[in-house]
């Protein structure tokens, strides 16, 4: 049961074996080639010129120019990553690190834009009077109509405010339209 304590000789043997295995892949240093790198550099310069030209002289609809510029930039970035930074010749692990961080960036920008875009639309509708405050369930087609209704109701209540029949009247209404109780109540609260 004492495998847990190998002797010095056993350990030495294991280490020597491991060391000899490691020496095997020690000299795998990849020397950067000259011509491919020059080709990459020239491509990068050409792509820079292309970016400027497309942005200046081609007018795409919507965010077309932006997307085109980003596609070119991504292509350039990939070239730098793959060749100048040796990812193509390196261990896969380094590429995984970059991929993970790029993935995190995409998540970060994507979700933030998703939310803020929706809220920009929401704000726009609110300013246009298409929706009112008070929650999503109270989205109504015509805010002006509601405003008029409210004004009328307000006036109605104001007229009757001093009268004794006020409460009796409301109770009577509630009794007739049972289902509307909640809604009525909510609107009364708003005043």
For residue 178, the number of C-alpha atoms closer than 13 Å in the C-beta half-sphere is 0
Give the nearest distance from C-beta 57 to another protein in angstroms.
11
Residue number, 1 or 175, with CB nearest to another protein: 1
Q: Which is nearer to another protein, 70 or 151 (CB)?
A: 70
Q: Please classify residue 83 by burial: count the beta carbons closer than 10 Å to its beta carbon, then call 0-12 exposed, 13-18 middle and 19+ buried.
A: buried
List of residues contacting another protein (CB under 8 A)? 1-6, 8, 10-11, 14-15, 18, 22, 25-29, 31-32, 34, 37-38, 41, 44-45, 48, 51-52, 55-56, 65-66, 69-70, 72-73, 76-77, 80-81, 84-85, 90-91, 93-94, 97-98, 100-102, 104-105, 107-109, 111-120, 122, 136
**Cβ 138 to another protein shortest distance, Å:** 13
CA–CA separation, 166 and 159 (whole Å): 10
Q: How far is the CB of 118 from another protein (least distance, A)?
A: 4
Whole-number Å distance between alpha carbons of 18 and 77: 39
Smallest distance, another protein to C-beta of residue 87, A = 9
Compare residues 110 and 172 and give the one whose CB is closer to another protein.
110
**Would you say 84 or 152 has its CB closer to another protein?**
84
* CB-nearer residue toward another protein: 32 or 177: 32
Least Cβ distance, residue 77 to another protein (angstroms):
5
């Amino acid at each position: 049961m004492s495998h847990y304590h190998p002797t010095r000789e056993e350990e030495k043997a294991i280490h020597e074996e491991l060391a000899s295995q490691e020496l095997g892949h020690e000299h795998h240093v990849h020397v950067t080639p000259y011509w491919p790198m020059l080709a990459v550099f020239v491509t990068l310069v050409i792509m820079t010129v292309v970016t400027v030209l497309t942005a200046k002289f081609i007018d795409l609809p919507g965010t077309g120019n932006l997307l085109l510029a980003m596609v070119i930039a991504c292509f350039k970035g990939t070239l730098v990553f793959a060749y100048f930074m040796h990812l193509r010749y390196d261990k896969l692990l380094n590429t995984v690190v970059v991929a993970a961080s790029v993935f995190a960036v995409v998540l970060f920008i994507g979700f933030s834009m998703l939310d803020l875009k929706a809220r920009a639309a929401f704000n726009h509708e609110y300013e246009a009077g298409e929706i009112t405050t008070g929650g999503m369930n109270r989205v109504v087609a015509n805010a002006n109509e509601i405003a008029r209704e409210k004004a009328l109701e307000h006036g109605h209540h104001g007229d009757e405010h001093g009268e004794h029949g006020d409460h009796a009247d409301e109770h009577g209404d509630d009794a007739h339209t049972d289902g509307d109780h909640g809604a009525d109540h909510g609107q009364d609260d708003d005043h």
